Structures are given as structure tokens and as C-alpha cells.
């Protein structure tokens, strides 16, 4: 196994978190690639109930039978046979920080996750490799009946709930990558918020991929029961390797009547990662679901958080920001389906492209017949930092109902000479001026994030932009 302990001093505009710890594992699938044996081994190792094994095997069939999508980004270099599908870093999950092994703590330290976060922020479920290694939950939440644990524990401890909802929002055969995830999923979060319970402090999970060639297939299911509120937040970063890495998550959200779920993500994958994620939510009567989604890094990201507005008065919001640097393609957007009257939605998408980077907005707005008085607004803004950068917009709109109000607005802007000159005439260097324009551009998204995440988002974008001028 690699023994490179040094923090790689990478050049400008390269991934800054590209170090990795020596890999020490209790379990690793014996070989790369995927087949029924591997899937059965994963399930057996986790002591899963029979139905989950069946579910996985059926999903595998679906995965193998589906062709790799040819729309969106270029997946031709993605080789499913070159990936490890399951690694487990520790025998048991640490319930307290002291139980977490030192090298894992080191990694967190290098990522700069503040120690204070553990104390001020209540639930920290940090995913290292395929399992959550550190997990804590404030006592009052336990008392209130809130469940926040990794998905594997969720399956063990709340099998009935999991069995009832797992895969109901995103069926295994929804698409090739949801099928893959359903076959080999590991880790992720399971959250249940009982009726009427409001969790004011966000639940946080910090994800990280470490092992070379390892796919990460986390699976998250959040159920907000009637009239409850939860904000789940997740930030990701991954180290740099020379061979391609795959991240393919499935996230399902269920907002029961009058409930509200906000799901915030900042993803910063290393530049060779394929980030192919399926995220979907259903919102019942007067429920609200909000996706706040920041996409940095990766070689290719394909991600379109969706909200299905199933009950009258439901509301969906999707805010996304993507940064595509040299050689990167961010194919992101959002999907809203209005299936009930008086529903409303807002999609705000912001993308920044630099160098040979390419950003794509791909969105679907669908209004079913009978969804009268639905309101929807789609706004996508692209910012190009130089001449070579590219942006495309594919807004699909299908309206079957006449009594609706939909708006769509798309803008493309370049960081202008005049704008830079103006800022520089006040003493800002060209890089500082560029960073200021970019930070202003993403401000509408950043202000929706908790402060420390907003700062992290700005900092990450600045790191990515270093050396981008001149």
C-alpha cells in the first residue's frame, strides 16, 4: 500500500488536499470490479437482512443491463472494472472522539475541520472511507426521538423504517448510477425527525474518500415527519490520485405534510473523480424542501437535485453553484415536478467557468395537468472568467396545465475589463479583483449556508482560482 505521508506540495490551481494516509483496513474486497459475489460479500460482512441482499442483487442486474448514459458529460474513460467497491476502515464506529484512530484524526486536522465544531455543532457524523467513524448526537435529540446515524446502523436499528422508505423515492433501476449505488451502497446518513420536532442546529456529516481507486457509494435517507424541521449539511473533499475515482451517491428526502427539509452540500472532489449523484425529494402537503448545492472539483459532475411536489401548497427550492476549472466539466442543475395545485418552486443556478472548464445547466421543470396555480421560477447565471471557458444551458420545460405561472431567465456574463479596472483602481490586485467579482457572484448561494460553510466555499473557490489570472 502507498506510504506517502507527506503533504504533497502541489502547484497552483491544483487540488490542495491531495495527501493521503497509509491505508489500514480490516476489510477490503479482494479484487476490483463488481459481480454478484462481491455484492453478496458486502452484504454478508454487514450482517444485513436477507431482503437487503436481494435488493442489492436485483439492483446489480439492473446496473449491468443499463448502458452508460451518453448524454451529459463524457463517461467514456470511466472503467467500472478498475474500482474497489467496499472498504471498511475500522472494526467499530467511534462513539466518542477518543475512539477515533490517530491517522484519521490527522486527516481531519489537515482538512482543517475545526475541533470546536464538535462542541458547538451538535451532530457530527463524519464519513471516512465507507463508514461513519465519528458520530455524536446531542442528548436532547435522543430524547426527542430524532434518529441521526450512518445508514448501516440505521438498517440494523430501524429496519422497519428503512424497509418502508428505502428506494421508494429513487428506485434502484431509476438510472445506471442509482442501480450501482443500490447494489454496493455503504455508509451515508439515516435521519428520522418525529412529528413536530424542530432541529435548529444543522446535522453535519463530513465525507472523505481516501483509498485509491475506491468508489464511494454512500446512501442517505432523511424522513421529516409531519410538521418537523431539519437542516442536514454535508461537505466533501477527496485526495488526489492519478487514476480515476468514482463517487456515486443516492440521497432520498421525504418531507411529510408541513415539514421542511433543507439539505446543504459543498462538494470538493479531487480533479480525477467522477461525481455522479442522484438526489431526489418528495414534498407532501405544505411541505418545503430546499437543496443548497455547491460543486467544486471533480473531473465530471452530473448532479440534478430534484423535488417532486406531491401535495397541495408544497414548495421546492434548488440553489446550486458550480465551479469548473481547467479540464473540468460541471453538468448540474435541478429538476422540479409540480404534481399538485398551488405548489411553488424556485431554481437558482450559478456557474463559474475558467480556462478550459465547462459548466452546463441542465434542468427540468414539469407541471402536471391539474397542478393549477403553480408558480415556478428558473434562473441560471453563468460567469466566464476568460475567453476559452464554456457554458451551456439546457432548460427543459414541460407544462401540461394552463393555469400556471412560470418564469425562466438565463444570463451569461464575463468578468469585464471595466469591472476589473474599477476594482483595481481602488487598490485591489487583479487576482483580488477577480476573487471579489466571483465571491459576489455566488453570494446569493453563500448567504444561504451557515457562516463557516460560506467561508469555506469562498476559500475553496479562491484556492481553485489561484494562478488563474494573467
Residues 6+ apart with CB under 8 A from 105: 97
Q: Which of 112, 370, 440, 467 contacts other proteins by CB under 8 A?
A: 440
- How does strand 260-269 pair with strand 300-303? unpaired
Phi/psi at 7 (5° precision): -75, 120
Distance CA 292, CA 376 (A): 17
Surface-to-core class of residue 310, CB atoms within 10 Å of its CB (0-12 exposed, 13-18 middle, 19+ buried): middle
Task: Measure CA of the first residue to CA of the last residue in the chain; give whole Å.
Answer: 40
**Least distance from C-beta 418 to other proteins, angstroms?**
5
**Least distance from C-beta 419 to other proteins, angstroms?**
4
Q: Where do the H-state alpha helices sit in 138-175?
A: 139-144, 151-157, 159-165
Beta bridge partners of 334: 363
| Site for other proteins contains 455 (CB under 8 A) | no
Of the candidates 396, 397, 329, 321, which has an alpha carbon nearest to the alpha carbon of residue 360? Answer: 329
Residues 6+ apart with CB under 8 A from 340: 285, 309, 310, 311, 312, 313, 314, 370, 371
| Site for other proteins contains 436 (CB under 8 A) | yes
# of chain residues touching other proteins (CB under 8 A)? 24
Applying the rule CB under 8 A, the residues between 390 and 419 that interact with other proteins are 416-419
| Site for other proteins contains 462 (CB under 8 A) | no
| Site for other proteins contains 444 (CB under 8 A) | yes
DSSP symbols for 63-88: HHHSPPP-SSS--TT--GGG-B--EE
**Least distance from C-beta 356 to other proteins, angstroms?**
24
- How many CB atoms are closer than 10 A to CB 309? 33
Residues 6+ apart with CB under 8 A from 14: 240, 271
**Least distance from C-beta 14 to other proteins, angstroms?**
26
Nearer Cβ to other proteins, position 98 or 387? 387
Angle, helices 430-446 vs 417-424, to 10°: value is 110
| Site for other proteins contains 386 (CB under 8 A) | no
Nearer Cβ to other proteins, position 131 or 464? 464
Q: Which of 70, 402, 427, 451 contacts other proteins by CB under 8 A?
A: 427
* Window of 144-152, 231-239, 243-251, 422-430 that interacts with other proteins by CB under 8 A: 422-430
**Least distance from C-beta 253 to other proteins, angstroms?**
28
**Least distance from C-beta 434 to other proteins, angstroms?**
11
| Site for other proteins contains 422 (CB under 8 A) | yes
- How does strand 245-247 pair with strand 219-224? unpaired
Nearer Cβ to other proteins, position 26 or 422? 422
| Site for other proteins contains 111 (CB under 8 A) | no
**Least distance from C-beta 442 to other proteins, angstroms?**
7
| Site for other proteins contains 425 (CB under 8 A) | yes
Nearer Cβ to other proteins, position 372 or 424? 424
Nearer Cβ to other proteins, position 3 or 417? 417
| Site for other proteins contains 429 (CB under 8 A) | yes
Which spans of this chain sit near other proteins (rule: CB under 8 A)?
Answer: 416-419, 421-430, 432-433, 436-437, 439-444
Amino acid at each position: 500500500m502507498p506510504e506517502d505521508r507527506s503533504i504533497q506540495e502541489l502547484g497552483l490551481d491544483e487540488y490542495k488536499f491531495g495527501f493521503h494516509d497509509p491505508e489500514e483496513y480490516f476489510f477490503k474486497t479482494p479484487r476490483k470490479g463488481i459481480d454478484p459475489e462481491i455484492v453478496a460479500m458486502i452484504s454478508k460482512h454487514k450482517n444485513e437482512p436477507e431482503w437487503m441482499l436481494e435488493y442489492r442483487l436485483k439492483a446489480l442486474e439492473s446496473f449491468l443491463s443499463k448502458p452508460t448514459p451518453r448524454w451529459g458529460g463524457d463517461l467514456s474513460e470511466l472503467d467500472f472494472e478498475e474500482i474497489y467497491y467496499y472498504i471498511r476502515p475500522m472494526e467499530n464506529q467511534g462513539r466518542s472522539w477518543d475512539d477515533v484512530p490517530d491517522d484519521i484524526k490527522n486527516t481531519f486536522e489537515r482538512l482543517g475541520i475545526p475541533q470546536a465544531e464538535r462542541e458547538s455543532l451538535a451532530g457530527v457524523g463524519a464519513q471516512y472511507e465507507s463508514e461513519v467513524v465519528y458520530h455524536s448526537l446531542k442528548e436532547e435529540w435522543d430524547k426527542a426521538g430524532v434518529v441521526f446515524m450512518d445508514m448501516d446502523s440505521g438498517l440494523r436499528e430501524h429496519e422497519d423504517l428503512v424497509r418502508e422508505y428505502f428506494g421508494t423515492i429513487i428506485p434502484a433501476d431509476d438510472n445506471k448510477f442509482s442501480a450501482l449505488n443500490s447494489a454496493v451502497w455503504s455508509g451515508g446518513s439515516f435521519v428520522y425527525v418525529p412529528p413536530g420536532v424542530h432541529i435548529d442546529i444543522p446535522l453535519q456529516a463530513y465525507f472523505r474518500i481516501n483509498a485509491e481507486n475506491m468508489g464511494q457509494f454512500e446512501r442517505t435517507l432523511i424522513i421529516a415527519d409531519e410538521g418537523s424541521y431539519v437542516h442536514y449539511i454535508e461537505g466533501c473533499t477527496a485526495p488526489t490520485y492519478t487514476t480515476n475515482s468514482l463517487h456515486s451517491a443516492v440521497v432520498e428526502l421525504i418531507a411529510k405534510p408541513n415539514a421542511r427539509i433543507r439539505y446543504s452540500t459543498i462538494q470538493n472532489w479531487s480533479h480525477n473523480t467522477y461525481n455522479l449523484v442522484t438526489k431526489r425529494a418528495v414534498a407532501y402537503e405544505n411541505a418545503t424542501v430546499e437543496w443548497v448545492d455547491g460543486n467544486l472539483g471533480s473531473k465530471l459532475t452530473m448532479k440534478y437535485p430534484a423535488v417532486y411536489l406531491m401535495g397541495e401548497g408544497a414548495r421546492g427550492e434548488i440553489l446550486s453553484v458550480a465551479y469548473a476549472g481547467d479540464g473540468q466539466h460541471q453538468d448540474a442543475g435541478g429538476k422540479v415536478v409540480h404534481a399538485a395545485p398551488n405548489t411553488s418552486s424556485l431554481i437558482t443556478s450559478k456557474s463559474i467557468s475558467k480556462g478550459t472548464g465547462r459548466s452546463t445547466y441542465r434542468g427540468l421543470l414539469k407541471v402536471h395537468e391539474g397542478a393549477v396555480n403553480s408558480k415556478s421560477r428558473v434562473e441560471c447565471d453563468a460567469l466566464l472568467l476568460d475567453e476559452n471557458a464554456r457554458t451551456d444551458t439546457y432548460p427543459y420545460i414541460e407544462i401540461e396545465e394552463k393555469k400556471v405561472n412560470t418564469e425562466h431567465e438565463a444570463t451569461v456574463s464575463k468578468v469585464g475589463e471595466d469591472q476589473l479596472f474599477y476594482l483595481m483602481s481602488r487598490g485591489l490586485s487583479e487576482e483580488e479583483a477577480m476573487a471579489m467579482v466571483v465571491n459576489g457572484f455566488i453570494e446569493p448561494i453563500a448567504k444561504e449556508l451557515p457562516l463557516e460553510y460560506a467561508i469555506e466555499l469562498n476559500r475553496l473557490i479562491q484556492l481553485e482560482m489561484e494562478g488563474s489570472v494573467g
